[in-house]
Structure formats: C-alpha cells, structure tokens
Structure 1
Amino acid sequence: MEFRPIPRTPGAFQQSVTAEEIEAICRRVFGPSAKVASASELGTGMYNTTYRATVVGQEREVVVRIAPDAERQFISERALMRNEYASLPYLAALAPLLPRVLAADFTHEVIGRDYMVQSFLDGVPASEHLRTYPRSAWPVYYQQLGEIARRVHDVRGAAFGPIAGPAYGRWSEAVVASLEDIAADLEGVGLDASDVREVVTAAHRHQAVLDEITEPRMLAGDLWLPNTQLDRHAPEPVITGAYDFDRTLWGDPAADWTIRMVTTKADERQAFWETYGPLEQSEAATWRSKVYEARHLGAVRLERHRLGNKEGVRNSYEALAPILAAVG
C-alpha cells in the first residue's frame, strides 16, 4: 500500500491514522479481502482528517473521512460527522451534487474514531478554480450558489437547533445555547469570552425579537467556495459538487454562513441574490443579523485558536466590539 499522510506535530488538532487503520476501515466497508492500493491525505479541510483512497476492485476512488478524537472536539463542535449523517435525508434536493455515503461507522470498534467512506467527487474546489476564470464570469458561480442555498433553506423542520439535536422549541433557545457553548469553549482554551457572554445577555433580553422566527428552516452551516466543486473543463464556472454539511442546523436562514459571506462584500457575489431572492429588510432582521455575526465571530475565534493564528484571534475581538453596542 502506498500511504501518504501529511506530517504534523503531536499537538496538532488534526492527526493522521496509520496505514493499517486505513486498511482496517476498508476491510470493514468492502469486505475482509479488500486491499488498499494507495491512500493520500488531503489537506483542504481543517476539521476531519480526510484521505483519497484506491481500493482494489472498486471502480472509482473513495474518500475516507475520519473525525477528531472525541476528547479533542469542542462542545460547540461535538459529533459533527454524526450531525452531517443525520442531515442527509433532508438534503435530498441536492442529491446529484453530493458524494454518496458508502458507509458510516460510529461504533469505534475499528479505530476509536467516527468515520465515513464516501464516493469521490469529480472536479476542482471552487476556492482554487474560480480564480482561473475572468472576473466577468464569477457572477455565474454565485447565481448557482444562490440556487443551491435556496434549495437548502426551503427545507422545513420540526424544531430548532442542530439536525442531530439537541432540539429547541424556540429559536432564541437555540441561539443562546450555541453562544453559551462557544463561550465555554473559548474559556476552556484560556481565551476571554466576556464579549460573547454579553451577546448571550442581549439575546435573553431581546428574545422576543429572535422568536419572531417561528418556522425552522435548514441551514447548510458551511456552504461556501471551499466546499463546492467546479467542472475542471467548463468554459464558465459550473458547480458539480457540494460537501461537508456537518454544521447543518434548523433555524433562521439569515443566520447561515453562506448568507454571512455573501453580505460581506458588494462585488460579484451579489449575483447570489438574483437566484436566492431578497432577504428581509426590517429593524428586527438587522438586529438579529448582529447576533448571528457575533456567533460566527465566536466560532471563527475558536478555529483561529486551533490553527495557531494569534493575530486572527486578536482581530476577532476588534470585529466583535462594535456589535456589542448594536445588540444592546
């Protein structure tokens, strides 16, 4: 077996498994006689440890995704792979774009970590390939992204919160629980979370504004350029795949990461709204958007800490400061 892991320090968040463990996973999925010809770790993701593998006798390559050790996971990111697996039936409208799950194993009998084996998606990550097109063609990508986001946000749920739970009867409860988990994680790694705690207080004080959202809709969680694939040879951007739906939840579509990223800049990405449709423009919606941005910034702060990005962590405090005054 040709095995190519990415060298990492012992303290790094992402940790490779061994060649023997990859083989053990593939024997469980494809049978006791399965042989792995090669496995190469992919460095594009920042959470799961992911390998592109060739299994003898299988028509196509597969992707082996392995979750972090349970003790390494933040409270706010607990069991993300299980959340993604629970989301799949609700992503039926995106089925042609999604990798097929060949197997999921949460028993920890093979390697002591959750893992999924999926089909390999053809194409190139949009974060790499979009820039090869002239900027005049970029709106085409964002129009397609708007269509995909709309399909996700049109799915209705029965309660608020992560797809795999816990479930909440009111949107304010789900938002507060998410913020409190992020604050606890920040404090757990020795970072100041007082600004996030202030947003929690504001959310309690103005819970009626959050609870104007009464219908849970599906949020993709992390749908953006790095998690979409483009056709390598198309004359203009064509989205051929979407993946990493591990942060899905039921809530207000305006709280989705995709919406946050589209509204960050007034450039080609504004073509997104042509297919997605307009957002609510009210005083209450504007206030809620500030709370959602605080939640995003808290999560970003955690990720930057995990990556050792000290300057990015400092910048997150500066970005969150004006939000505190706005949410009152």
Structure 2
Amino acid sequence: MESLTKNRQDPATLHAMIVRAYGVDRAPDPAGDWCTELGHGWFNVAYRIRLRDGAEVVLKIAPPPAVEVMTYERGAMATELAALRLIREHTDVPVPAVDHADTSRNLCDADWFVMPFIAGDNLGMLRDRLTAAESDAYQEQLGAVTARLNAVRGTAFGPLTGPGVPTWRAAFTAMIDSVLADGERRAVGLGRPYSAIRTLISDNAACLDDVTEPRLVEWDLWDNNAMVRDGRIVAIIDHERAFWGDPLIEAGFTGLELPAFGDSQPFTRGYGHPPLTRAERVRRRLYGLYLTLIMAVEIDYRKLPGADHHAWVHARLAEALTRLDG
C-alpha cells in the first residue's frame, strides 16, 4: 500500500541496521538476496529480512520526521513498543518479541525496531478464500483475543506512553477533536461544517461517562493485523494505535452500527459481549464517527489514491453522522 509515511531506506542503510541489531556474524551477505519489502501496511514501512543463519526477521521503520502525520499518529512507534511490552507481560496473546529497538536516529532519520518474522498467512489477505464458516471461526477467535487484551487495566485514559487523564469523556473528546483539527488544518471537506460536527459530538457525549476503568485497547485489530496458521491466530501485529480506553471502541464491534464494515456478530460471540444497551449504542456511534473521520482526513495527509476508496470512505462518514442525528 502506497503512502507518504513509508520511510524506505537504501540497502546499505538497512544492512547497517541489521548489523547493529544482530551483529556482523548474523548479518546477511550484502551481495545476496536478503531483503523484501512487505507491502500491505498503511503507515510504517516494513521489510522481511533473511539473516546469514537462515532466520527471518521483520524491520519496521517509523515515518520520516519531515512528513506531517495526523495528531494521533505522532509517536506511533513508541506506542507500539509499549503495547508489545504490556501484552507480553500481562496476557497470553501471541505477539512478536522485540529483538532490538533503536531511537538514536544516527543510521536513519526515524525510530526503528526488529522482531522475528511470523510464519503464517495474513488473515486480511486470506479472507476471500475462506468459507463463511471459516471466516466466522476466525472472527470468533479475534473476539476472544481482543477480550484478553482488554482485560489489562490501566490507571488513566489516553496514550499508553502518557500523560493520561482521569475520565474517558475527556480523553475521547480530545482524541476526536484532534482529528477535526487535523482536517481543518488541511481544509478537508467532511460533508458538514466542522462546528456542526463538534456540536453533534457534544450533544451525545454524556454516555462516555459510563466508562470508568481504563482498559488496554488495541483499536486497530482488523483482519490485516492477524496472522493465522492451521486455522488458528498465531500472532497479532501492528500495535501503534493502542491506547487506554473503552473496549467497546475496538475494531471488531464497528459493524454493529456501521454494517458496511462487516458482520460483527461472530466477533461479539467470541468476545462474550452481551447485546448493546441504548447508551452503548450511542458510544458505538461516536466511535464509528471517530473512525470514519480519521479515514476521511488521512486521505489528504497520506495522499491515498483511488476514487472508489474516497467515495466509500465519505459514504461511511455520512452514515456515521446520520446515525448520531437521531
């Protein structure tokens, strides 16, 4: 996937990174065929690299500092590293180990880290080949995995790397307002005046006060961020959008109020979540608005191509706004 945020590096720089992470004895022969870009991500660039001893690893590099990213994306790699630590320390959810992380920026202009390559299929790329029963089974597994992640408790709402705030209403309204501010900065058209959208959010925000305990939220756990093998999820990847918040904001619940994102019932069964209350439905509608606002604004920030994609995103944004109107 093409995006301005992908910070590609030349082979010499990539090789120097691998030498730093694994030592010269394990680094591949620079003249060999040892590096392939993994192209399915939207934000960071990632490379699959074969070491001299045959082991395979993944190198992820944060966006270049000169590229303007959305407010919620700042410090994303630090967030991912914090999430990986929390998940490994407090759950049994399978995630890659971090072999080496580097924030010195003296080999390239951004932070980077390396981890073992996970052998398996990306669930998002496998989706079209699955039967309905197989797809439902994977969604139930995603629900169960997400519930285990959400069981990790925090002390404040907001970024994993801090600072946090004491209430979810304060954290979430700041999060969604930052997206609106990003859109205003680029004069992104959202189909309604920004002031009207802010009023709509304020009019529906009281339900956020029902959330009183910060939980670890992955938020971006779509099919594309699950690796599967032999019918089981063997790892979840790409944790840079995690935060302390309300578990109901998780990606798997999105279809409950925005059906175009897919059927959420198998996920909900696997998660073990009961039918939503009226207040929970309003929260889900706010979270759907947050997601679709990001999708609409990021088109400009990343210069994402595709007229069909643009039209689909703006249709979903209009739907999210309409669902909050009533």
| Shared fold, TM over 0.5 | yes
Show the counterpart of 1:41.
Answer: 37
Q: Distance in 2 between matches of 1:152 and 1:311?
A: 34
Q: Distance in 2 between matches of 1:84 and 1:308?
A: 26
Distance change in 2, residues 1:201/1:252 (3 Å): same
Higher alpha-carbon deviation: 296-305 or 202-211: 202-211
Q: Distance in 2 between matches of 1:195 and 1:175?
A: 20
Distance change in 2, residues 1:36/1:96 (3 Å): farther
Distance change in 2, residues 1:240/1:162 (3 Å): same
Show the counterpart of 2:225.
Answer: 227
Q: Distance in 2 between matches of 1:105 and 1:261?
A: 38
Q: Distance in 2 between matches of 1:98 and 1:240?
A: 8
Letter in 2 for 1:215: E
Equivalent residue pairs, number: 315
Pairing partner for 1:242 from 233, 236, 239: 236
Q: Does 1:212 align with 2:206?
A: no
Q: Does 1:108 align with 2:102?
A: no
Q: Distance in 1 between matches of 2:130 and 2:247?
A: 30
Q: Distance in 1 between matches of 2:285 and 2:131?
A: 34
Show the counterpart of 2:156.
Answer: 159
Show the counterpart of 1:68.
Answer: 63
Distance change in 2, residues 1:285/1:14 (3 Å): same
Deviation at 1:151, TM superposition (A): 0.2
Distance change in 2, residues 1:198/1:316 (3 Å): farther
Q: Does 1:78 align with 2:74?
A: yes
Show the counterpart of 2:279.
Answer: 284
Q: Distance in 2 between matches of 1:54 and 1:223?
A: 27
SS in 2 for 1:239: strand
Please, what TM-score do these two structures have when normalized by structure 2?
A: 0.87
Deviations 1:110-155 (A, max 9, x none): 1111101011001010122243333232222122111101101111
Unaligned 5+ segments in structure 2 are none
Please, what TM-score do these two structures have when normalized by structure 1?
A: 0.86
Distance change in 2, residues 1:86/1:138 (3 Å): same
Deviations 1:193-243 (A, max 9, x none): 555553433444454321221111111121121111111xx3xx2211211
Distance change in 2, residues 1:12/1:249 (3 Å): closer
Q: Distance in 1 between matches of 2:257 and 2:149?
A: 18
8 A contact 1:61–1:120 mirrored in 2: yes
8 A contact 1:98–1:242 mirrored in 2: yes
Unaligned 5+ segments in structure 1 are 1-5
Q: Distance in 2 between matches of 1:126 and 1:97?
A: 15
Q: Distance in 1 between matches of 2:322 and 2:123?
A: 36
Give the CA RMSD over aligned residues.
2.6
